[in-house]
Amino acid sequence: MIGEEKVHVLSRSEAKSSRWSDRFTLTKLADIEPDDEPLWLIESLIPAGPSLGVVFGKPKSGKTFLVADMFLHVAMGRHYCGCAVQQGGVIYITKEGLRGFHRRMMAIRLHHNTGPAVPFYVAHEMPNFGTNNGHADSLVALIRKLVPPGVSIAAIIFDTLARTMPGQNDSDPAAMSMFVENCNTVAEAFNCFVGAVHHSPRGDDTRSRGSNVLDGAADVIVSVIKDGATHISTAKIEAIKDGEEGLAWLFRVTEKRNQKDGFAPLCETISNPERENDSETKAKPKFTGEQRRFFDILRQAIHEAGEYVPASKTIPPNVKVVTRQHLKNCLLERGFVDAEKPDSVRAITSKYINQLTGKKVIGADAKYVWVLKP
């Protein structure tokens, strides 16, 4: 009508811009003070929120078992691998092998004797985070509606990342950037950690699959590599912001007997996190897949049969060692070398000892081998 004032309706982009501008402020350097918010969700391993993390590995490497076990400890408020946790609710969203996932969660529930009050929740409808479709805001609203009042959300896990991007290519930087943005929306809404279980590319155990946009955005990246001979997996902090890279720990998937359902798989940790290598003056060395496997077998041999010997010009004090012969036996047992080729056993063992001493991650003399401490 003539003379009637027109009302301008903000478009979605204008509304977002308005909200952004309302939040934009300036703080003088002299006025910045530390806050009392916790730094860690799991001490030294998983940063407190809002944060983003990735756990990657090959299929059947044990990464799902690892993540479920880690974050059940968060929900229970119990130490994980000797590391303190900040207790809180956990939302685990997966569409991977639902029946098997339920069985393993029942097994871990019985193993840890969790009570009905533990705030660990499972969902099987995966949002689409590969596009700008409002699913992040919808997920926030659903969690607020469905989680009981008084439960503070500490972590939300997506298993797997690929399932959150149907029809999208995880090598596409634009699609991965949208995934990151959606995760950040959720992390900021609950001030929580958002984690994604992801795959490694074929032939490379040292990085996650797809666009490096994810690597740049993640606050922590954890690799999982399984030794096919021993069935022992190594989890390692490949990258972490405001933390120590190189921490690694061992775990394996065992069988837990359930009177009703028979056997169900269970994640069993073998060692607490410790530095995998030592390099104080140089950048962290990179391992090939075979070097990593050799190193893991050496660490396990030391864990099982290591002993302290008197320090010498070569052997540092207070370091556990194993004999070269014991290491060869372990390499044979785990199928790293061929028992029918004794000359090859000696040559291959010496080859990898020389390679890793050259990287300054292990030490060796004519009789003993050991891992260098930081």
Least Cα distance to 88 among 125, 119, 134 occurs for 119
Write down the pLDDT at residue 259: 53
Task: Say yes or no to pLDDT of 266 above 60.
Answer: yes
CA distance 39 to 240: 12
Write down the pLDDT at residue 123: 95
Please write the tens of the pLDDT for every residue from 78-116.
999 889 999 999 999 998 777 778 888 888 888 888 888
Segment 196-222 shows an average pLDDT of: 88
In sequence order, what DSSP letters do the residues of 120-147 get, joined into one string? EEEE------SSSSSHHHHHHHHHHHHS
In the three-class reduction of DSSP (H, G, I as helix; E, B as strand; rest coil), residue 247 is classed as strand
In this prediction, what percent of the chain has a pLDDT beyond 70? 87
Task: Say yes or no to pLDDT of 161 above 60.
Answer: yes
Q: Is 154 exposed, middle or buried (0-12, 13-18, 19+ CB in 10 A)?
A: buried
Task: Say yes or no to pLDDT of 69 above 70.
Answer: yes
CA 129 to chain CA centroid, Å, is: 20
Tell me the domains of the chain and their CATH numbers.
40-275 (3.40.50.300), 289-371 (1.10.10)
Instruction: Compute φ and ψ for 110, nearest 5 degrees.
Output: -65, -40
CA distance 325 to 322: 8
Write down the pLDDT at residue 183: 98
Confirm if 197 and 158 have CB atoms less than 8 A apart.
yes
Segment 126-141 shows an average pLDDT of: 96
More confident residue, 263 or 165: 165
In this prediction, what percent of the chain has a pLDDT beyond 90? 47
Write down the pLDDT at residue 4: 47
Segment 231-259 shows an average pLDDT of: 85
Beta-sheet pairing, 193-199 with 51-57? parallel
Least confident of 44-53, 128-137, 173-182, 225-234: 225-234
Please state, in angstroms and as integers, the Cα–Cα distance from residue 125 to each residue in 42, 70, 96, 139, 242, following that order. Answer: 27, 22, 11, 10, 33
CA distance 253 to 263: 12
Looking at every residue in the chain, the average pLDDT score rounds to 85
Task: Say yes or no to pLDDT of 77 above 60.
Answer: yes
**pTM for the structure as a whole:** 0.69
- For residue 117 the two structure tokens come to 């009050």
- For residue 49 the two structure tokens come to 């929120």
More confident residue, 326 or 99: 326
The winner for highest mean pLDDT among 34-48, 151-165, 351-365 is 151-165
CA distance 196 to 84: 22
Please write the tens of the pLDDT for every residue from 271-306.
888 875 543 434 556 788 888 889 989 988 888 888
> Residue 70's pLDDT band (boundaries 50, 70, 90)?
very high
Segment 235-248 shows an average pLDDT of: 91
Task: Say yes or no to pLDDT of 17 above 80.
Answer: no
> Residue 13's pLDDT band (boundaries 50, 70, 90)?
very low
Write down the pLDDT at residue 169: 92
Task: Say yes or no to pLDDT of 340 above 70.
Answer: yes
Least confident of 64-73, 231-240, 276-285, 329-338: 276-285
